[in-house]
Structure 1
């Protein structure tokens, strides 16, 4: 039998997963857009090309993230629906075997055979499908992930992350825009890295170092490429 605390923990885990996915989406937006605008800034001091590239990168990245998340979650939801449909059919065709299976699952959880049988019978009498979906499949039929919600959240997180380097590079004067953007991005990645590490119960220092190092390297490489292209064109 599912303990109320387990249900609460499951809901909390789901919210943490969504929050972690949002932080990772924001990180993607920060790094990819920062690399793009810093690269263009390495080639030109004109704000128009930088803004155009940044906005285009933001839009393309947000659409790509949303589409990828939609396809991924849709596939997961289709699989869950197929499993639930199969379980319904098995309950209709083999009710006794399914009752024995549910009993065995509760025995595996630590209940005595007699208690497990009683629990399985009571749950089956109340809602056999819900019982099997919970214990056997670990799926809540009434709380399947919505692919549109996932796509929207992913696009929103990427957009929020992308806006930071875009604003940071367009607001300052041309002679300091790259250093300002570099500092803003590094600080933002340090914060999001720490948050994602805390959510994942991982070491903060190592996670922040990886994220900051990767973001700094991306900006350095794209800035260098921008300068080489700008010099070649000039």
Structure 2
């Protein structure tokens, strides 16, 4: 008997939050470090800025993800409540909606009605949630999971350029941080693409382009501010 196929969409809930958190942790902290280092404010100030950026960024990511995904969860609950009321007040019309959905997907009306009857008898609300609203367990909003995942992965990502800055000679902080961060971002982009079923090189390329632009911009701003001061 052939083994079951494991689809990539099963990972979408945690993968999105994890990749976003780690990528933002590396890029925002590296850009901050490079910008401050380019202003020639001293190694101590660079590390202080990086540490503050790690803590603030992790908390911001957690709060942002929690609020955003909570809003999605609220919408899902509201839609389910509307369906629950509709089923209680007009089950026949709701079943006909399922029939029309299944006909639209290719079943003949007689078979579609049979499927709708059996699914409604088993779990009417679940059938409408899945087939009418597009809500599934795999894609369900999980605010706490998203918040914790984002905060943790942001912290891990931010630690990479921060450690690179600690280990680098005071006069070479910016280039060392850039190299370490781009290497990490490229690897992360490739791994995320592979986990999502896409080509690794494409994931690495798109994150490297934007990351390079971000760090170049902050370096330029830091240099200009440093000259002005």
**TM-score of the alignment, normalized to the shorter chain, above 0.5:** yes
Q: Does residue 109 of structure 1 match 2:105? A: yes
- CA, structure 1 residues 128+213, in 2 after alignment: closer, same or farther (shift >3 Å)? closer
Residues 12-57 of structure 1, C-alpha deviations (whole Å, 9 max, x = no match): 4141342143123211111111111112222336332112100111
List alignment gaps of at least 5 residues for structure 2: none
Aligned to 1:81: 77
TM-score by length of 2: 0.86
Aligned to 1:56: 52
- Of residues 119, 123, 126, the one that matches 1:123 is 119
Give aligned pairs, total.
226
Verify the 8 A CA contact 2:17 2:146 in the aligned structure 1: no
CA root-mean-square deviation: 2.5
Aligned to 2:95: 99
List alignment gaps of at least 5 residues for structure 1: none
- Of residues 169, 187, 191, the one that matches 2:183 is 187
Measure how far apart 1:201 and its partner are.
Answer: 5.0
Measure how far apart 1:143 and its partner are.
Answer: 7.7
TM-score by length of 1: 0.85
Aligned to 1:163: 159
Q: Does residue 36 of structure 1 match 2:32? A: yes
- Of residues 176, 189, 209, the one that matches 1:213 is 209
Q: Does residue 150 of structure 1 match 2:146? A: yes
For 1:162 and 1:114, how far apart are their aligned partners in 2? 58
For 1:129 and 1:46, how far apart are their aligned partners in 2? 62
Measure how far apart 1:139 and its partner are.
Answer: 1.7
- Of residues 9, 12, 22, the one that matches 1:13 is 9
